[in-house]
Chain A
Amino acid sequence: EVQLVESGGGLVKPGGSLRLSCAASGFTFSSYNMNWVRQAPGKGLEWVSSISSSSSYIYYADSVQGRFTISRDNAKNSLNLQMNSLRAEDTAVYYCARGLEMATSRNWFDPWGQGTLVTVSS
């Protein structure tokens, strides 16, 4: 069974940092693009970042460019999101989601993890 489990969320002060992780199992992690998508409380979905299978291609939303860094460790089947200079508007549930098994930015997301809540507040 394909499974994605996020961790690392919590309460952080504005300007602070947090590192999210996503543990993958049930598929050949190193073959797939991976993504982060977030959802602010009561709001819609917002794509955050994508990384190709070999980390050759990385994309960010403008809202997080320069503050967030996506990375992956294919040996550990792990996806990460380092979040720096956090703002109140970064408060959201962050989902890890699998993309496609090819070198493309044209990903749809399937499946998704259960999400981890990040709250940025003083």
Chain B
Amino acid sequence: DIQMTQSPSSLSASVGDRVTITCRASQSINNYLNWYQQKPGKAPNLLIHTASSLQSGVPSRFSGSGSGTDFTLTISSLQPEDFATYYCQQSYTTPLTFGGGTKVEIK
């Protein structure tokens, strides 16, 4: 199985900060990497698919990059509504696997 490792597991940031979350795959997954945002008590929401493609309706302050084994999700200017938990997911092969999540909290 492909293991997905996210870092950090949590971070504290202020509104307006630039935030970067990293996801590393245990083997190459080309660009088959997706990012989700989940708020407490809600279902996850797709932000980015295939490493860097912004899902329709997602604000442009979110961006993704990377290929192979190393990927990043960047929020260029953190907004109050962005405080949530973020998950990466590889779709290269089954079993489809998720990272452990990164909780973004208010500083």
Closest to B6 in A: A44
Interface of A is mostly: loop
Which residues does chain B contribute within 8 Å of A50, judged by CB atoms? Answer: 94, 96
Structural contact, A47 and B95, CB atoms closer than 8 A: yes
- In the assembled complex, the CB of B49 is this many whole angstroms from the nearest CB of chain A, namely 5
Size of A's binding interface in residues, CB under 8 A: 20
B46 & A47 in contact (Cβ 8 Å cutoff): no
Contact with B along A99-122 (1 / 0, CB 8 A): 000000111111111110000000
Q: In which size bucket is the chain B interface?
A: 20 to 34
Q: Is the CB of B94 within 8 A of A59?
A: yes
Task: Check: A46 CB closer than 8 A to any chain B CB.
Answer: yes
CB distance from B38 to the nearest CB of A (A): 8
What separation, in Å, do the CA atoms of A45 and B86 have in the docked complex?
Answer: 11
Choose among A45, A61, A108, A113 the residue with the greatest number of B CB atoms under 10 Å from its CB: A108
In the bound complex, residues from chain B placing their C-beta under 8 Å from that of A105 are: 91, 93-94, 96
A45/B98 contact (C-beta < 8 A), A111-B46, A112-B45 known: yes
Cβ of A67 to closest chain B Cβ, rounded Å? 15
**B:21-76 near A, CB below 8 Å:** 32, 34, 36, 38, 42-46, 49-50, 55
Tell whether, in the assembled complex, residue B43 and residue A106 are in contact, meaning their CB atoms are under 8 Å apart.
Answer: no
Proximity bits, A73-107, B CB within 8 Å = 1, else 0: 00000000000000000000001000000000111
Q: Is the Cβ of A44 less than 8 Å from the Cβ of B94?
A: no
**Are A112 and B92 CB-contacts (below 8 A) given A44-B87, A47-B98?**
no
Residue in B50, B91, B95, B99 whose Cβ sees the most chain A Cβ within 10 Å:
B95
Given contacts A62-B95, A105-B94, contact A113 B43 (CB under 8 A): yes
Question: Across the interface, do B100 and A47 meet the contact criterion of CB distance under 8 Å?
Answer: no
B81 to chain A, nearest CB (A): 18
A95:B93 contact, CB within 8 angstroms: no
8 residue pairs from A and B, CB less than 8 Å apart: A44-B99, A46-B98, A47-B89, A47-B98, A105-B91, A105-B94, A108-B34, A114-B43
Q: Told that A62-B1, A109-B44, A109-B46 touch, could you supply 4 new A-B pairs with CB distance under 8 A?
A: A47-B89, A50-B96, A108-B91, A112-B45
